[in-house]
Amino acid sequence: METALLEPSKWETFQSAWELFQDPILCALIAGCVLGFLSVYVVLRRMVFVSAAVTNTAGLGVALAFFAEIHLGVHVDPLVGAVVLSVAATLLLMVEPARLRLSRESLLGCAFAFAGGAAILVGDRIAQESHDIQGILFGTAVLVTPDQLQAVAVAGAVLMVLHLWWFRGIAFVSFDRIGATVQGLPVRLLDTVLMVSIGIMVGVCARALGALPVFAFSTLSAIAALVLDLRLPWTFFTATVLGGIAGAGGYLFAYFYDFPVGGSQTVLSGVLVLLMMLVRLVRLPFLRKA
């Protein structure tokens, strides 16, 4: 009985080990916010499956980096592998598929299936790192190294500054391509900046958190925000906040209720969509009166 009384609660354990948890929570918060912001472009430009294919490709990049070091003796940082392959995938998916006699859906399906299958095959040949591979694909990793946090923070800060600086141009090109061309905006450059930004952020975040929660942040955050039918700047802001809540909140939920981290972050992203749908239903009578 005395032992039970003296046993620290989970909250007390969490507080005492805060130094251990602060890096993964901060990393999930930053990743959720930045990917939540970018998710508005992903959803409104109907690129949800682009995000799925790129996250799978990032997982393949990490697996190939491990494979190269173990079997070929060539050191490749897994972070570099994830970023290089995810950026390459985004650039490949920008190619006009009609030139290859393919539809865009066909190209996306090929990229998604090939990258996911190849990551599993490569992972099967690197048993030493099988836990890391599983963590990358499904987001089961609990800890985040300082290098991974630094990479996510630096990439997130640089991309957010760039996107807030060029917000009007990128948004104009994304939602009114013909009008942007008529106005003389560098459409192709702005498109490339957006796609490369998604590739870089997905790559660094998938290495730290796993492909599954990264896909959820980069799609479900915008879906939840768009349900509210807000003005565009507020939609970006809401998606950013909801992404951060899903990242940090999902980690805390996983810790206190003993669930896998990536699954918790993904499910919380889905729950936020449902909550926003309820908010919309409550607001609907007031919107009609207005």
- CA separation for the pair 187, 174 (Å, rounded): 9
Residue 275 is predicted with a pLDDT of 95
Question: Counting Cβ atoms within 10 Å, is residue 140 exposed (0-12), middle (13-18) or buried (19+)?
Answer: middle
- CA separation for the pair 235, 254 (Å, rounded): 28
The ranges of the chain with pLDDT < 50 are 1
210: CB partners within 8 A, 6+ apart: 135, 136, 137, 138, 139, 140, 141, 261, 262
Q: Which two tokens stand for residue 256?
A: 């206190």
Residue 155 is predicted with a pLDDT of 94
Residue 226 is predicted with a pLDDT of 93
